[in-house]
Amino acid sequence: MLVGTIGTIGTGLTLFDPKSADTANEIIFADLPYTYAEFDQGAARLYREGQKQRVRVDVLQTTTSATLRDGSALDTLDERIWELIEGKRELSDIAIDGKYDTTDAASKVQKPLRRWLKQAREVGVEPLAVERRPPETSDAQKWRSEIARLRGMSAAKVDEVFADAEFTREFLAHLKTSTAAKLSHEWVRGKLALLMRPDLAIVDMGCGLNPFADLPCKVIGLDRHDLPGVLRGKMENPNLPDKSADVLIYSLSLYGTASDLFSYFTHAARILRGGGHLFIVEPDSTFTSEGTMRFVNGLRQFGFELVGSVKDLRGEDGTPLKGMHLTLTSELVKPTVELFERK
């Protein structure tokens, strides 16, 4: 058990050992911050990559049965702060997930403000009673959480999850509207445009819906899903010949443990021709700053050199990703699994 305030332990800590079979999965908020971002950061101490269980979040609140002069309910400070946090979460959903148009967002702010002013004039007291918004999770939020959970599993465990046909169907449907996937594909396409030629051989590892199949060159999309035009296989053991590709792409597909990533790049170094290009796009939250440096160093041990620097990508909705462009320039130099611990 760890006891602390949001201010002292709300950032920079992972409150469990990702290598452990059992991970701590319950967090209790005894005091509340005034912003949703701080609350979310606190919950993220357990709800992060490496978590193997569903995370339970409990919020302690004081309540009262007292009423105001007009008979409306009297909220406690805890209840007021919680409503404030929920309101800020809703505005965050609007801004990040694009759930509402700008005009809708404005009306959502203006309506309760007008109602507040009207009641203040008529009753003469602050109208503390509000209708509590029912807990609701957008599809984008749901899949961000689900994908974060999958990223904490081993590749073998992820295979078990995707054995559920309904889950796979919903996941692939999500990819069609994913803002992160759109941003990643746009960045990779911009890079590929500079390399394009008819005989270019591209392999998209963990291709999902095979988004690069329309390019005017040879494109192989490899994934665990049995889709038309996709080579069914696993990134940790792809059935592809040595030195058969000019470009390898890992677009939001590096699920698994450090050991799994070690396997992925062992094969990447085998499949790519000398001077070949490696493009990697991952969620910004996947890496700490130290983890990014360690990850790039691990790739260097496989013979990959970073072109330029790691790019911070951000979509119109604020989605943050990291993009890396590397080339295979040297021989393999005894890489170690530990270098692929991204946190």
> Which pLDDT belongs to residue 130?
46
My answer on whether 118 and 152 are in the same domain is no
My answer on whether 104 and 148 are in the same domain is no
My answer on whether 207 and 304 are in the same domain is yes
My answer on whether 179 and 328 are in the same domain is yes
Strands 231-232 and 218-223: parallel
CB atoms within 10 A of CB 90: 18
Q: Which of 96, 126, 156 is the last residue of a domain?
A: 126
Q: Is the pTM of this model over 0.75?
A: no
Structural domain includes residue 134: no
My answer on whether 27 and 94 are in the same domain is yes
Strands 311-314 and 320-328: antiparallel
Q: Which of 76, 94, 126 is the last residue of a domain?
A: 126
My answer on whether 205 and 57 are in the same domain is no
CATH number where 322 lies: 3.40.50.150
Choose from 101-110, 171-180, 328-337 the range with maximum mean pLDDT.
171-180
pLDDT tens column, 233-290: 999 999 999 999 999 999 999 999 999 999 999 999 999 999 999 999 999 888 888 8
Structural domain includes residue 303: yes
pLDDT tens column, 297-306: 999 999 999 9
CB neighbour list of residue 159: distance below 8 Å, 6 or more residues apart = 224, 234
Q: Which of 77, 99, 126 is the last residue of a domain?
A: 126
Q: What domain range is 301 assigned to? A: 144-340
My answer on whether 119 and 243 are in the same domain is no
pLDDT band at 328 (very low <50, low <70, confident <90, very high): very high
My answer on whether 94 and 190 are in the same domain is no
